[in-house]
Structure 1
């Protein structure tokens, strides 16, 4: 989708397929809606008085208003004016998304009129608007035999109307938001693809395609023999149960060389580590059959790394970023891990596998050890790791775990700014006691109590050489039920963090 800005005070003269303006609850018009109302001799107020109450997220499309050049005027409900301002640009994004959905039938151009929000930068509003547009117009049909092309949104271009002084900042925000939306689209499509298509090999090929498209990216895809040579015994043990070949994907975005002379840059690269279990049956500790199909989403951590790399490469961010993806399946077979087995990790620590369905930490731990060679300034792993995190936080917040206060706050702040929120969870040393084993250096589970916390504590054993944080996205990476599908989270959070560092 194409994004651009237009500076004009005469909104009623803008020739466009659809013009979106805000209406507050209780009949209060935004300045833009008021201008259109005056140009149309009160047509907007008449409709608002009779049938449109301005409920947050609601829309109503008016056609061929007298005195207005736009083919359609889309009224967007903003809720109560005081609440709208209190929610900062969250409401602006939600309202814009609703407007996009309502305007999807428009052929060609839809013009957004962003309602000014106190204390929120123009660039942030524009970024949020572009992300919302991308989310609203996403449509999956990759695995349909005969895709319904008519079902695809027809919205092709968004023009944001801003004050002349704000045009440059708005364009910057639209560019950033569009790149993030493109990254989210890749992440969502990878997550939604079935496990027989989106295999570890497919993830590796996707990384290679990104490297061909963007010159700033370099990629290396390691096979089983190369992983064996590295001594990744924990990762290998999970992959052993499947006939599908494992892949260890290493992505590099070399952006620091583009930094202007004298600018501050991190001492080492930022490393993103994504869990890439392309299907998780639980291994010998088999999962229940109901909703097991959703375990194709167990690679959403890997998908979010690939989506983030697509976005940061499109934006050419002046940062060195490394992506690590251990990818395999977790299936039951005669070669699969058994409860009670002991494996040796790349770090040399032995692990007693008490539950083969706690496999994500077994592949991530070796990737975290591998990350040491880059002497990173920060390492963030992203994983659909535990059902316990869903119990704790539901589908609203991702779980954020870190003992580094600065890194934790930077990620939490990025989540708040991007509306892709995370909640910091405890990591007291006392939780480590639950991982004790009589037969190995540590066990891979700590029992039912605080399951998400003990999973993070397990990973922390392999991340002592650098500032580290863990994002448990088991509750936020996808939705189930009738709206089943990947969400693209936490690409907005990760990209906001990277933008902040850049």
Structure 2
């Protein structure tokens, strides 16, 4: 898919399709008004006839419009103008992308990027349009023998900017939006693959493939023997019930100065989670292939950073394993020693993500990171607390948490802070080890973060629980690619 920016009046565009917005009730946007005037009131006549009223998500494709040099005009409903914010803009762009894909128009110019969105400038609108269009057109059909592909798919989308002065910022916005969309697509692909294909070894192979595509990326992969030598008893405990060997994957990109500390991204990569001996209910267990979406977001963010050639140093660490029941599997009540030397009583083998991550966090210390962000589909309690809209964000340094939240607001990929007070640490007390791997039913997302905080004391660290945001269930089941936009924006803000 090719994207471009352009400044020009809509009625003069020689294009397969010109896209303009219509607000409720039948209120033409500025670009639509120009087309209406040039066509002798053709659009106004259609709206008065009741063909469209501008409700959010509506589309109306017009052909043979009088006095127009374009082949088609696509009217997109935008809802009430006074309520036109981020969500309404994304809805309008998504509706336009789907309509264009079905229309047979291989290229189009959109004036939706000229619509006033509350608190957003033109560059944001351009970037959001590229990213949203990429999301709308994403399809995962590589495992289907007969995939349904458009006969004439949309190949180029040009986005309008008000004048020539806005072209440089618009062009940069296109580059950023495309890179983030590509990163999200990679994260979605990895998340959507089933556990019999996307194994820990497969993730390691994908890291090597990414390094071939971007030679600036350096990859190191550790296996079980390496983990034993390092004392990674927690990560190895998770892997004991699986025939698939675990992998600790490190990806390094040195785009900054030689002495600059890297920013670290650490991802939970449980490629399938049955719960282990503490086995999960059968219903919806297939969705536990998505339990590696934290790792997938590390891959996706690194890809975006590499494509953008960001001027900073970056390290991605992925703890990849399966969690399955077996005669050799870890049992409730077992005590293991982590790489940090701390001991853990494993009361619930289905709280495995924090066990894999704690050793990964300790390993990350060796890079002397400026900041550390970990991402994990960690707790069902996060879904109870925040639903499927916001990532839970917790950390040991308020400034870092604020930076993460600000990046999410800018990217439209929002998080919400939960407390990480010392009072919650008492929930992890154990009679037989330094700590238990679970607390009680209360504040499960917070006590899970408390567990991880014990392995991040030497670092500026924040944790994103993405259990409610990493994938969709039901009819639209599939990985979302989040929080790649938030993470990439966080890195952009550091540049």
Residues 67-76 or 210-219, more deviating: 67-76
3-state SS of paired residue (2:126): helix
Partners in 2 of 1:225 and 1:111 — Cα distance?
Answer: 56
Aligned match for 1:310, one of 293, 303, 306: 303
> Conserved in 1, the CA contact under 8 Å of 2:224 and 2:245?
yes
Matched, 1:112 2:110: yes
Partners in 1 of 2:159 and 2:305 — Cα distance?
Answer: 23
3-state SS of paired residue (1:79): strand
> Conserved in 1, the CA contact under 8 Å of 2:260 and 2:313?
no
Corresponding residue of 1:44: 43
* Residues 342, 410 of structure 1: alpha-carbon distance in 2 compared, 3 angstrom cutoff: same
Partners in 1 of 2:145 and 2:322 — Cα distance?
Answer: 25
Corresponding residue of 1:215: 215
Corresponding residue of 1:263: none
- Aligned-residue RMSD, C-alpha: 1.4
> Conserved in 2, the CA contact under 8 Å of 1:400 and 1:422?
yes
Corresponding residue of 1:278: 271
Partners in 2 of 1:69 and 1:142 — Cα distance?
Answer: 39
Corresponding residue of 1:143: 143
Q: 1:239-264: CA deviations, max 9, x gaps? A: 11100111110001111049xxxxxx
Aligned match for 2:425, one of 427, 432, 453: 432
Corresponding residue of 1:398: 391
Corresponding residue of 2:94: 97
Partners in 2 of 1:501 and 1:91 — Cα distance?
Answer: 29
3-state SS of paired residue (2:28): coil
Aligned pairs, number: 490
Q: How does 1:80-479 map to 2 (within 5 A)?
A: 80-84=80-84, 87=85, 89-105=86-102, 106-113=104-111, 114-117=113-116, 119-150=119-150, 154-162=153-161, 163-257=163-257, 267-479=260-472
Partners in 2 of 1:64 and 1:312 — Cα distance?
Answer: 44
Matched, 1:33 2:26: no
Corresponding residue of 1:20: 19
3-state SS of paired residue (1:124): helix
Displacement of 1:90 after TM fit? 4.1
3-state SS of paired residue (1:300): helix
Corresponding residue of 1:261: none
> Conserved in 2, the CA contact under 8 Å of 1:22 and 1:115?
no
The gaps in structure 2 that reach 5 residues or longer are: none
Q: 1:27-86: CA deviations, max 9, x gaps? A: 2111101011111111211222222111123222112211122222111111111111xx
Residues 401-410 or 434-443, more deviating: 401-410
Displacement of 1:326 after TM fit? 0.5
Partners in 1 of 2:74 and 2:80 — Cα distance?
Answer: 18
Corresponding residue of 2:482: 489
Displacement of 1:17 after TM fit? 1.9
* Residues 165, 409 of structure 1: alpha-carbon distance in 2 compared, 3 angstrom cutoff: same
> Conserved in 2, the CA contact under 8 Å of 1:399 and 1:423?
yes
The gaps in structure 1 that reach 5 residues or longer are: 259-265
Displacement of 1:215 after TM fit? 2.1
Residues 103-112 or 416-425, more deviating: 103-112
> Conserved in 1, the CA contact under 8 Å of 2:101 and 2:150?
no
Residues 214-223 or 318-327, more deviating: 214-223
Partners in 2 of 1:72 and 1:390 — Cα distance?
Answer: 44
Residues 492-501 or 51-60, more deviating: 51-60
Partners in 1 of 2:91 and 2:179 — Cα distance?
Answer: 19
3-state SS of paired residue (1:129): helix
